[in-house]
């Protein structure tokens, strides 16, 4: 299992686009990404640099990837 990288919210959003999410809306400093195949499934990504480790791990888990798969897509 890979160590979690330090990434920004913009980099997380790029990975989400690769796995089938699109930008739905932004509120403050948080982007809401919507899955194209299931429009009711959403993930909130903070536009922080870096994204906190616990938040990043929760996002990775919510989109159904492993840490290794996420790192490969960066």
Structure token pair of residue 56: 């990043």
Tell me which residues of the chain have a pLDDT lower than 70. 1-2
pLDDT of residue 1: 61
Decide: 15 and 71 in contact? Cβ < 8 Å: no
pLDDT at 38: 82
* pLDDT for position 7: 95
pLDDT, residue 45, reads 96
User: What pLDDT is recorded for position 22?
Assistant: 94
pTM: 0.88
Please identify which residue in the block is written with the tokens 């690769």: 18
CA proximity to 40, closest of 24, 26, 28? 24
Q: Which domains does the chain have, with CATH numbers?
A: 9-73 (3.30.920.30)
Burial 12-29 (b: 16+ CB within 10 A, else e): bbebbeeeebeeeeeeee
d(CA 43, CA 51): 14
């Amino acid at each position: 299992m890979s160590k979690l990288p330090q990434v920004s919210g913009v980099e997380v959003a790029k990975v989400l686009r690769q796995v089938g999410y699109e930008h739905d809306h932004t509120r403050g400093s948080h982007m809401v990404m919507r899955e194209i195949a299931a429009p009711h499934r959403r993930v909130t990504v903070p536009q922080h640099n870096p994204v906190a480790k616990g938040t990043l791990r929760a996002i990775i888990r919510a989109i159904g990837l492993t840490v290794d798969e996420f790192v490969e897509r960066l």
